């Protein structure tokens, strides 16, 4: 049961990271808004945004305008639960698991912004490096080790 919940949670969180990665560089709100079609901007129903399954069920096309959804959404939502489950198998719920979890989602955010805009926001890079520095201090290691 824990594997199932972890897979679902990580796919949903990756879906959020993808929205944040698309909206943050162009200063669009991504926290308090409904999901919308990338092409026609219609608001999507909850069953249109279920990670992995909605892509498969609608055959990779937007439900409202029938345009193809970029495959990167599907791949990221498919690979993320696999990676997180492998992390859990290796580390269980430990500090190492949390460390790799945080780093993975930062890198996923960078990947998404780079794919769509060829740009990674400096503000997020600064936060990432601060998080890495705190982790290094907590683990009593230098960043160069």
Supply 101's token pair.
């979890």
pLDDT for the residue numbered 56: 75
- pLDDT tens sequence for the chain (145 residues): 899 999 999 988 998 898 888 888 877 777 777 777 766 777 776 666 677 777 777 787 777 777 887 888 888 888 999 999 999 999 898 888 888 999 999 999 999 999 989 988 899 999 999 988 888 888 775 445 4
Q: Which domain holds residue 15?
A: 2-138
Counting the structural domains of the chain, the total is 1
User: Quick check: is 143 in a domain?
Assistant: no
Q: How far apart are the first and last CA of the chain?
A: 37
Tell me the pTM.
0.81
User: Quick check: is 145 in a domain?
Assistant: no
User: Quick check: is 144 in a domain?
Assistant: no
User: Quick check: is 125 in a domain?
Assistant: yes
User: Quick check: is 129 in a domain?
Assistant: yes
pLDDT for the residue numbered 39: 66
User: Quick check: is 133 in a domain?
Assistant: yes
User: Quick check: is 54 in a domain?
Assistant: yes
User: Quick check: is 62 in a domain?
Assistant: yes
50-58 long-range Cβ contacts below 8 angstroms, 24+ apart: 51/11, 51/12, 51/14, 51/15, 51/77, 52/11, 52/77, 52/78
């Amino acid at each position: 049961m824990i594997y199932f919940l972890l897979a679902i949670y990580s796919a949903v969180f990756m879906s959020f990271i993808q929205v944040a990665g698309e909206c943050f560089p162009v200063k669009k709100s991504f926290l308090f808004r409904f999901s919308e079609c990338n092409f026609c901007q219609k608001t999507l129903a909850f069953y249109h945004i279920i990670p992995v399954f909605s892509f498969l069920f609608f055959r990779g096309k937007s439900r409202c305008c029938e345009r193809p959804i970029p495959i990167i959404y599907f791949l990221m939502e498919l690979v993320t639960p696999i990676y997180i489950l492998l992390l859990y198998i290796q580390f269980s719920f430990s500090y190492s698991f949390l460390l790799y979890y945080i780093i993975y989602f930062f890198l996923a955010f960078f990947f998404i912004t780079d794919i769509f805009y060829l740009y990674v926001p400096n503000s997020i890079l600064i936060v990432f490096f601060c998080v890495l520095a705190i982790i290094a201090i907590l683990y009593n290691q230098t960043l160069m080790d």
